[in-house]
Amino acid sequence: MPIKMIVTDLDNTLLRRDKTISDYTADVFRQVQDHEVLIVFATARYFRTVEEWLIPSIGIHPDIVISLNGAYAYRDSEVLYKATISPDYSNTLVRAIRERGGKITVGTSRVRLSERKIEDTHKSFSQPCDFSENLTEEVHYIDFHGSSETADEIISIFPEIRAQKYVNEMLITFIHKNAWKGVALTEVMKQLGLTSSEVVGFGDDKNDIDFLKTCGIKVAVNNAVDEVKSISDWICGDCDNDGVAKWLEKNVL
């Protein structure tokens, strides 16, 4: 059965380690879309960083974005899936984290609020915040800069959230317990009438495993962690050497 959807993680999968892509990769993705194959970004990134900085910088316009490890999936202005944290629950959660000395950044549907000064120009939508006032919007995620032990304690107290940890990063993200890339992708596929055999996925880190298992063809980049490689059907090239694009050119185009 022909491939109708390509689902790819971004950092260290589609993106090179310097957060760029080559002209060759951009051209391959344009050819994929010319063949009427849908492109989906499935990322841990906040959707506003994808829309306002990443897409313009790399020149690839996906048909669908699954952001924040599955907390939010959308096509243009259409919401396809959402698993967010209510304002009241978020306010209680924020207080509990800050009582334990953790530094946080909170992403809502409108703006990102941070205790830390944000230096990067592409993150200009971030606003400094001391969290003295209650949040009034649904929260997509809370980034936590603190110990893993504190994170484990927090999730034991708050059953409506889970903690997403990353390999080689001193960061823990609290998100809704139903925010998973695979859950969001399953819902997207259901709405589009696609089967797993029509979908190929690319990933590198542990938070990609659940969505890769939803894809009929699972591809790990060569720099992926062993856990991802062990569940994959294929190993493509390294993220710094156009691994995803070269696999697509050979097997899809």
Residue 120: the pLDDT is 53
pLDDT mean across residues, the chain:
91
Q: Which of 126, 157, 176 is the last residue of a domain?
A: 176
Q: Which of 124, 158, 176 is the last residue of a domain?
A: 176
User: pLDDT category, 101, cuts 50, 70, 90?
Assistant: confident
Residue 239: the pLDDT is 97
Number of domains observed in the structure of the chain:
2
Same domain, 36 and 101: no
Q: How buried is residue 31: exposed, middle or buried, by Cβ count under 10 Å (0-12/13-18/19+)?
A: middle
Q: What's the order of all strands across the beta sheet hosting 78-82? A: 78-82, 72-75, 64-67, 38-42, 5-8, 199-203, 217-220, 234-235
Domain CATH code at residue 238: 3.40.50.1000
Same domain, 128 and 189: no
Residue 1: the pLDDT is 63
Express each pLDDT in 189-223 by its tens digit: 999 999 999 999 999 999 999 999 999 999 999 99
Domain CATH code at residue 96: 3.30.1240.10
Closest CA to 42 of 65, 74, 76, 12: 65
Residue 89 pLDDT exceeds 80? yes
User: pLDDT category, 121, cuts 50, 70, 90?
Assistant: very low
Provide the residue range defining the domain that includes 149.
87-176
DSSP letter (8 states) at residue 10:
I
| pTM of this structure | 0.88
Distance (Å, rounded) from C-alpha 17 to C-alpha 223? 10
Q: How buried is residue 106: exposed, middle or buried, by Cβ count under 10 Å (0-12/13-18/19+)?
A: buried
Same domain, 126 and 159: yes
